[in-house]
Amino acid sequence: MGVQSVSAVVREEQSEENQYDLLAQSLKKQREESRTSLTEMIQDAKEKADAQREKFKLAKVTPRYGDAPLEAYARLSRAKTQSQVSSAAGYARRRIAQLETAQRSDPDHADQIRAAVGQLRKAVTRASKKKMEINREQLARARQKRMARENRRREEQRIKQELRRSQSMRAIRESGYFRETEIANRQADQLTATKMELRAQAEQLGSAAMKSVDAAVQEYSAAVETAAAVTAPVSMPQVDVQA
């Protein structure tokens, strides 16, 4: 009877030991699966962040979108006839269409493109104004010639002075167009640079967050290992069956 009791105790201990082994194996498997899943997620996020940073590093030189309105105003300033003014306006319209297409394919520089398009639209409006001014000046020259033929010197000089004043005022206005465009371009460049800097900082914060997640995974793994050690079966004292 004593031997049977000891055998029953041994079998019970072996059964408990097997249960402890199964529990430890289950915890180990869960820990490994959890660690693998989180590690893959972290690795994937890091790869995406690295790829995005490389994209910014390898980005091509920023297109000089602001050159388009400067060229349009240069052509408008050189124009002396209505046909030349129309040609400058046609250039501005073509560049507007091209930049609007570029805005869809280059959203990173949308502010610079919008600034350039805005100045080009002003150039088209100002070209229409210059055509009317040139037309008035042509009429004034015709009157001036008539005054000269009629020997009306005082009236001829007055018309001549008005023409010079009108042309001087237009030259001043047109030089102001260049300064206005340069200021608009500079503001758009600064806005774009600020947005890209904020984006880079956000990516750096995202990278720091990934590192925090990695540290949390390590802490979790350590906690699971500790729990497994606590629940592991302790060595049972040997039973002397001869007793």
Instruction: Note the pLDDT tens digit of each residue in 165-212.
Output: 999 999 999 999 999 999 999 999 898 888 888 878 887 777 665 566
Q: Quick one: 99 and 191 in the same domain? A: yes
Evaluate whether residue 33 is within a structural domain.
yes
Rounded CA-CA distance 164/40 in Å is: 76
Higher pLDDT, 206 or 76: 76
Residue with tokens 């959890």: 34
**Is this structure's pTM higher than 0.85?**
no
Rounded CA-CA distance 137/119 in Å is: 26
Question: Which among 178, 195, 212 is the end of a domain?
Answer: 195
pLDDT in tens, 216-236: 656 655 665 565 555 545 444
Structural domain boundaries enclosing 147: 67-195
pLDDT tier, 63 (very low <50, low <70, confident <90, very high otherwise): confident
Q: Quick one: 76 and 24 in the same domain? A: no
The answer on pLDDT for 20 being more than 80 is no
Q: Quick one: 9 and 111 in the same domain? A: no
pLDDT in tens, 90-112: 999 999 999 999 988 888 898 99
Q: 243: part of which helix (H) or strand (E)?
A: none
